[in-house]
Structure 1
Amino acid sequence: MSRSSSVYNELRVEKQLCDAVIRVDNTEFHVHKVILCNCSTFFRALFNSRSSPDNQLFEIPNVSAEVMKLIIEFAYTSFVPVTQDNVHELFVTADRFKVTGIIEVCSDFLEEQLTPLNCIDVWRMTDNCYHPEMKNKAFQFLLNHFEEVASTSEDFLLLSAQKLGEIIESDQLIVKTEKIVFEAILRWVNYSTEERREHISLLLSKVRLALMPPEYIMKSVDNNEVIRSSAECRTLFRRAMENMLDMRTKNLSNSVVCYPLAHPRLPAAVLLAIGGKSDKTPTNGIESYDVCANCWVKITSTELTPRAYHGTVFLDGSVYCVGGTDNVQQFSTVQRLDLGTHTWQEVAPMHSRRCYVCVTVLDGYIYAMGGYDGHSRRSTAERYKPRNNQWTLIASMNANRSGAGCTTLHGKIYICGGFNGHEFLSTAECYTPETNQWTMITPMGSRRSSVGVVAYAGYVFAVGGFDGTTRLRTAEAYNPDTDTWSEMPSMVKCRSNFGVAVMDDRLFVVGGYNSFSTSVGVECYNIGAEHWSYVPDMKTSRYALSCCVVYGLTNTAEYAAPRPSLQVSEVEEDKVV
């Protein structure tokens, strides 16, 4: 609080030079009109246009004395104590009185305190006051945590049919399967069956029923009396089955499906494949894999320097491309992509040039390890702190490594394999930030350079690579608790110099080189099924690329497959009759 503010507040407390009295619930507050006018357009209008200059007493209805006291104290001190108990009343009252400072403090507090249990309450609260930013944040939180909200929140059961429809029709609703949405609707209807059964066909028309298993749809019709007794619901389910048949017989991709009942939602995260070599030439091309539409999308990126054998990571809403080469020189440079604005900028360079570099993120730092500087393979390592835009050297590894793979797990960095300039390596080591020390761990079962390494389901996976003779399709997993490696199912195709990432509880391998050609092929591994399966190919074949998963974006649609707008004729054709 400034000196002048302190003086004004002392005068208020001592009731000196006050020229107005605010009366609330028989409680009177002596104030200075000019101070309240300074923080609120409501009071400026009240004191000027709504009263005569000599009027000193102002009675304000429908507000508690406790909250009025907080608002007046904020006008003098610019401070307000916000708690769970007072935030709702304080927010609504501050909105009524147009006290912008308190609205901002309450909004920040509410955003930090959002949970699956209270987000609906916050969302509904913003219906009574105009604050679109807070409304959008609460709604987005609800969409991102829908499964937990629908299964645990009492407020969910009290939603109106209109509000529930607004939630479930959103493309931004994050669910692993449409069955979650379907079952949430049934839970809502069952809360008051007779009163709500009339809404079920309208709500189910907003579910992507054609993306659910057909046997589940048939079972739902048979086992649920509300659905079974509704001619509209039966028509909906028949249309869903027809949509499924059309998509299969016509070989339609989800990305272009215009059926309302098969319209894919936006993904919670997208997988980016960045740079690499296509036709032996480094590229700046970026493709995004949309898991919900099950397809790849080209992303325009003219500002990125073409590079290969680089590292890519996602941190705090931005993608960083680290090191690499353009076939002429090895880079120490680092470029950052702001995913919100689609703009690139160069940030501080590393201490060393590094292509074939290993890059990962741990505790808000970007780590870059090993690589090739154009003369030798390196054992040095460094880390970048975005806040101060600075790279700092850390302890060197025990071995020189280029073309190794790295990941983070349980607060440590693991780096595996690579090439030291003389031999291909099976050795691996881990880094502990607290001690700034590298420790050798049990070697892998195979020598692997240009290997994909990623943390998945509590293990460190080492996949594919080059052993000095052949490209590999084998995979192995490291258990840090036992310091042991075990064989895992092999990939369908052998590959080295590919991208690797974990998304949607699956391990993805992207592109690469198979000893004969560059690949567009993509595979994924599900540890529960212990099975590799094909994923749609990228649009461009490439190797020496790098992949990362990005999430939490407010503009996910700009990195996902286009969701075609449904024409009136298409909706009419598929509506419930």
Structure 2
Amino acid sequence: MARLRRAVDPLRDVVICAGDVGFNVHRIIMCNCSPYFEALFCRHAGDRTHFTIPDVSADMMQVIVDFAYSGSVSVTEENIQDLLIATDYLIVTDIVEACNNFLLEHLTPENCIGVRRFTISGPQAQHKAHFLLMNRFEEVVSSQEFLELSLQELSDILDSDDLNVDEEKTVYEAAVRWINHEPEQRTSHLPALLSKARLAMSSTDDIKTLMSDPYLTNNSQCVQILDDVLRLKRQLSDATPPRRFLSDLAARPRLPNAIIFATGGWSTDDVTNITEVYDVRADRWLDITDHQEKPRCHHGTVYHDGFIYCIGGYDGRECCNSVRKFDVERHVWLEAAPMNQDRCFVSVACLDGYIYALGGLYCLRTAERYRPEKNKWSLIEPMHVGRHDGGCAVFNKKVGGYDGNNYLKSVEAYDPQTDEWHEIPPMSTTRSNFGTVVINNKLFVMGGINDSDDISSVEYYDVKTNTWTAAGQMRTAGNGLSCCEVSNHPSLKQYTTSRDTLPQLEEV
């Protein structure tokens, strides 16, 4: 017979048994706690007062009973798995929700694989766990859970377009760590895992480094894979612009974890509302213009907490104080509170949860900041010097411009540690009034004007190689556009080029 965990109370009309413990409880209170108990008691109406609950421990039943009477529950790392299983089985939805909230709040690279596997966890927790796994993969690789993946699980992860790695050799290094955990059972899987790396997207130097790795050179299948990759890279380098990719997995770009969002500007002597996004890894621009949006140029653009804010600017008739925000998840434009002052050629930046708008035409000293959760702008202390068409950036770089006589392509870089400026290689194109964004540690410049011509070309500076490289052209030439980076957002896939539609490069 089950022992009672509390003294018998005549007002408590049923006993619930879990394990070897009985809980003397009120039937009506347990019915209010869960439809499971309501159905159980209704199904056995009458004089029956003892009910045995299978597959639930006494400790978990104690938590559930306490919750039924108090309305509160303590979820911990130690009890969450058993508690979620028990409460899902007994349909105690409030505790299930509390467990899923706990998972969301405590999700880390060390536990995301387990949460992703745990099918009882809610879809939100599983989705967030998958997103974290794919976007912080290099941290996940260091976890114990990573070493316990099955071959199929690891293959699916390495095979995914969603996997975010800066360098594809990371995929190989991850495979080696997994193999070395149980080398006798796993070494034979090296060629299959190596083939998941998109090595044709890597530098030739990185591939040659791999070709000198004894771990690979002692495996004839791996040597063949690397030889095939070098052949593909030669084909890619021989391709004429626009850059083309093979359908072969080794040359298929993964999805980006960041995009460039560019909007507005002057084009063919008129203000536009054109909006384009740049898929960095596929080197493609997509037009996502909403033709109901009003045109603007010389405005500021900044990304914050799921929204892209377009601030101030010139609408074709006058400077304006209006603010529009683009909901990245829902793909819609919304109105935000206007600024206190009209500003075009405005500088914008995010800091500590606020959006700042500084200066503007004509050399305004005033500045204000926006608090998103209150949808309100407030004036702040004015600057010492009036400014318009200034810049707010984290990269501490300045590019090109107009010196009053000539359009420039020269570039200088400032080193804050030495307090010195130094020249870096010039851009390939002279340009002024262009957009700049730092993304994946590369400085992108796009659009602009030189002489009397609007520009659609894009190029980027790589600090590692100290070189400028041409990137895919924008769909529309223009100057006075504004742009920003959008990164680590779960809805970025809708702003990328489908990998299945990328053109193929014919085999030779």
TM-score scaled by length of structure 2? 0.90
Which of 156, 164, 182 matches 2:154? 164
Asked if 1 retains the 8 angstrom alpha-carbon contact of 2:347 and 2:391, the reply is yes
1:194 equivalent to 2:184? Answer: yes
- Structure 1 match to 2:110: 117
Shift of the alpha carbon at 1:395?
1.1
- Structure 1 match to 2:378: 392
Distance 1:58 1:322, change over 3 A: same
Higher deviation after alignment, 66-75 or 353-362:
66-75
| Aligned partner letter, 2:98 | V
- Structure 1 match to 2:76: 83
Which of 32, 52, 56 matches 2:49? 56
| Aligned partner letter, 1:73 | D
Distance across 2 between alignment mates of 1:396 and 1:194: 68
Which of 120, 123, 129 matches 1:138? 129
Asked if 1 retains the 8 angstrom alpha-carbon contact of 2:19 and 2:58, the reply is yes
SS at match of 1:564: helix
Identity of aligned residues (%): 40
Distance across 1 between alignment mates of 2:452 and 2:152: 58
Asked if 2 retains the 8 angstrom alpha-carbon contact of 1:473 and 1:490, the reply is no
1:31 equivalent to 2:18? Answer: no
Taking the TM superposition and a 5 Å limit, the aligned residue runs for 1:305-320 are: 305-320=294-309
Shift of the alpha carbon at 1:189?
1.6
| Aligned partner letter, 2:332 | T
Distance across 1 between alignment mates of 2:226 and 2:416: 49
Shift of the alpha carbon at 1:263?
1.3
Shift of the alpha carbon at 1:480?
5.4
Distance 1:334 1:190, change over 3 A: same
Asked if 2 retains the 8 angstrom alpha-carbon contact of 1:282 and 1:307, the reply is yes
Shift of the alpha carbon at 1:309?
0.4
Distance across 1 between alignment mates of 2:28 and 2:232: 66
- Structure 2 match to 1:108: 101
Shift of the alpha carbon at 1:371?
1.1
Shift of the alpha carbon at 1:201?
3.5
Shift of the alpha carbon at 1:175?
0.3
Distance across 1 between alignment mates of 2:299 and 2:436: 13
| Aligned partner letter, 1:134 | A
Which of 138, 145, 163 matches 1:155? 145
TM-score scaled by length of structure 1? 0.80
**Deviation string, structure 1 residues 76-109 (Cα, Å, up to 9, x no partner):** 3332112222222222222222222222222222
SS at match of 2:15: strand
Measured on the aligned residues, the alpha-carbon RMSD in Å equals 2.8
Distance across 1 between alignment mates of 2:468 and 2:502: 35
Distance across 2 between alignment mates of 1:226 and 1:561: 33
| Aligned partner letter, 1:539 | R
Distance across 1 between alignment mates of 2:172 and 2:25: 56
SS at match of 1:195: helix
- Structure 2 match to 1:455: 394
Distance 1:251 1:47, change over 3 A: farther
Asked if 2 retains the 8 angstrom alpha-carbon contact of 1:254 and 1:263, the reply is no
Distance 1:307 1:17, change over 3 A: same
Contiguous gaps of at least 5 residues in structure 1? 1-11, 407-453
How many pairs does the alignment contain? 500
- Structure 2 match to 1:67: 60
Distance across 1 between alignment mates of 2:153 and 2:90: 28
Asked if 1 retains the 8 angstrom alpha-carbon contact of 2:367 and 2:383, the reply is yes
SS at match of 2:401: coil
| Aligned partner letter, 2:108 | T
SS at match of 1:473: strand
- Structure 2 match to 1:443: none
Distance 1:371 1:148, change over 3 A: same
Asked if 2 retains the 8 angstrom alpha-carbon contact of 1:253 and 1:293, the reply is no
Which of 347, 351, 358 matches 2:340? 351
1:281 equivalent to 2:267? Answer: no
Distance 1:182 1:78, change over 3 A: same
| Aligned partner letter, 1:43 | F
Asked if 1 retains the 8 angstrom alpha-carbon contact of 2:245 and 2:251, the reply is no
